[in-house]
Structure 1
Amino acid sequence: MRQFRLALLVSLSLLASGCANSVQSTAWVELQGHRYDVELAKTEDQRERGLMFRDSMTGDHGMLFIHDRQEPQAYWMKNTKIPLDILYFDNGLKLVAQQRNVPPCTLGDQCPPYPSNVPARYVLELNAGQADAMNLKDGAVLAVKPGAIGQ
């Protein structure tokens, strides 16, 4: 029985440490007067996983991807189960490109890319329809919780 408990504790510890590596820190952003609680994807592993495998996301939540430098970005919906708005922002947090109402994709590596076509450093993913509801226009400025992105 003691060995079972020890094995269970070790398993739970390994599970928790594995989850800790995939969990992103949280913050908030504001766009067009709407505040969203966001998970931050700062590392390559976090950016690669993104919102994959999730069945839903609360309406006032999203994910903010933080890249090391401003350059053209392209996102895809591989293993993503929820439709999204993909919003691209430059170094100054100005909206420079949008991909709205992007559908889920089950084609694996055959999923199409959704590019920014212009240099961007930050990418905000929200539930599909949020950009339409805000009548979002390029040039809108994203406010981010102080200190969340290192600025």
Structure 2
Amino acid sequence: MTPNIRIALFSAAFVLLSSVQYACAADTLKLMVKGITVPVEVAADNASREKGLMFRKHLPENSGMLFVMDRSDAVCMWMKNTLIPLSVAFIDKDGFIINIEEMKPLTLDIHCSKAKAFYALEMNESWFEKNHVKPGDKISRLPQLRQTN
């Protein structure tokens, strides 16, 4: 194989891997929420969405987990095996918060979006309230993924 072909193959592989950067749970990005930079882990596949923040004992202040759905739909969350008290904001495909729910650790209570959501952002308990974030506020820098609705 010539060096030019090797370089072309390597470049193609790099582009392919780069294009699926949000497919893994280990990915992170920085959202903007009312002027606050919020580092989040991204859960964009079934396995990472199912695990979420389960079994963790700590979530750094002003950090969270962003759940990215396959399509806009009713979204529900629960706290099975989740040790940290959390708040969740359900977010529509355009980045606007639909509703915010408080979630108690280690419960099976279901918390759902009040309209079709494409994202859910979990933060430490009362984070949204403490930072004056409410339904109707817009979240910036959300990943634009395989949206079908």
TM-score normalised by length of structure 2: 0.77
Structure 2: runs of 5 or more not aligned: 1-22
2:126 matched residue in structure 1: 129
What pairs up with 1:41-120 in 2 under 5 angstroms? 41-100=43-102, 102-105=103-106, 111-120=108-117
Deviation at 1:23, TM superposition (A): 4.3
Distance in 1 between the 2:24 and 2:81 partners? 16
AA paired with 1:119?
K
Distance in 2 between the 1:130 and 1:32 partners? 12
Distance in 2 between the 1:131 and 1:25 partners? 23
Aligned length: 124
Distance in 1 between the 2:74 and 2:24 partners? 25
In terms of fraction of residues, the more strand-rich structure is 1
Distance in 2 between the 1:83 and 1:97 partners? 17
**8 Å CA contact retained: 1:41, 1:47:** yes
Structure 1: runs of 5 or more not aligned: 1-20
1:27 matched residue in structure 2: 29
Q: Which runs of 4+ in 1 moved over 3 A?
A: 148-151
Deviation at 1:30, TM superposition (A): 1.0
Percent identity among equivalent residues?
A: 29
AA paired with 1:121?
F
Deviation at 1:122, TM superposition (A): 0.3
Distance in 2 between the 1:129 and 1:144 partners? 22
Compared CA separation, residues 135 and 80, structure 1 to 2 (3 A): same
AA paired with 1:71?
D
